[in-house]
Amino acid sequence: MSILVVNAGSTSLKFGLFAPGKADPLVSGAIDWADGDRQHAKLSLGGEVCAQVAVPDDRAAALCAIETVLKTAGPGSITAIGHRVVHGGTQFDGSVIIEERVKQAISNLSSLAPLHNPPALAAIEAGESLGVPQVAVFDTSFFARLPARATHYAIPYEWVEKWGVRKIGFHGISNAYCTGRANELLGGDPTKLRLIICHLGGGCSASAVVGGSPVATTMGFSTIEGLPMGTRSGSVDPGLLLHLQREHGFSAEEIERGLTRNAGLLGVSGISSDLAQVEAAAQNGNERAQLAFELFADRVRAAIGGLAVTMGGVDALIFTDRIGESSPVLRAAACKGLGCLGLNLDPERNADCQADTDIATVQSSGRILVLHTREEWMIARETERVLS
């Protein structure tokens, strides 16, 4: 069995071909159109850009990935496909073989994850052309174990009873990997380890994990709540949305587009959804870029403090995904003032760190880890488990 993993997003599609039990992929690549030009998307293999490809829609991107893998690994090399699906709602507390009812459920949840569920569904439909089993691995499954006090909003209780309105939580695949990897690196008793995991990329969240189980997370019912993100607002005052409806005639669709596609780092900076470009502009004196960076760092720091108090302390703070792994400036800003929690950043280690590194000072009572998240490998493992 060789498992193709497809991780379809709003501005990229990552893929990898895995052999059973092997952590390193036989083939790995990505198709990226972060600049919005889908006619000249960048196709990379093994981390190196190798071609420009036209992927006018999400199905075309998935078919391009499949064709690339078959050309590289040979005909018949794909015997199963595992898909990252961001929103599984409360219907799925684990990974499942994809059939029509599963596809319908993913489609029904698209309004709550408009940037992610539709691309995943398109990739699933593209994968059907191979006639091999497909498995959905949900980003929400890890948080199915959240305690009730962490999932309930202080809203009329009948809304919960009638429509199942509750905090769901996302980035669960990454959180599950980082939890296991932190246990390996830190040793000690994994049943007592208190972790704060900051998954910072195009989407961003911070989560508290105690003894391997989540106890709190910043993302909620949809993929908008919590930290500011590349193009998503993060948490805002619900009264603001009511004001926009009543006083300015905004429709639900206009509000959704504003909050999911035109907000976050892009909306505040007016430059880019990519923090690296925002950082560069801020360093060159752009005031809006500086505001976007400071706002983002402040929200991350506040989330860390709140989650630490929720757990009664923290043994390790983890930064992962594109921003978390690649931006020492953001890590330094987010850790400023965390000495009161026993988290002390070493500037030299932070400035020159590799993946899976501790960047805390020797004297720090809590560790600060930079981990390279391996969502594709986790999806491959889950797909193999479900099919076997």
Q: Is-catalytic flag, 139?
A: yes
* Active-site choice (32, 93, 139, 356): 139
Tell me which residue of 89, 10, 17 sits closest to 379, measured CA to CA.
Answer: 17
Give all strands of the β-sheet with 213-217 in edge-to-edge order. Answer: 213-217, 204-210, 194-200, 316-320, 367-371, 357-358
For 29, how many CA atoms within 13 A lie in the half-sphere containing its CB?
A: 25
Q: Whole-angstrom Cα distance, residue 193 to residue 212?
A: 8
Residue numbers annotated as active site: 139
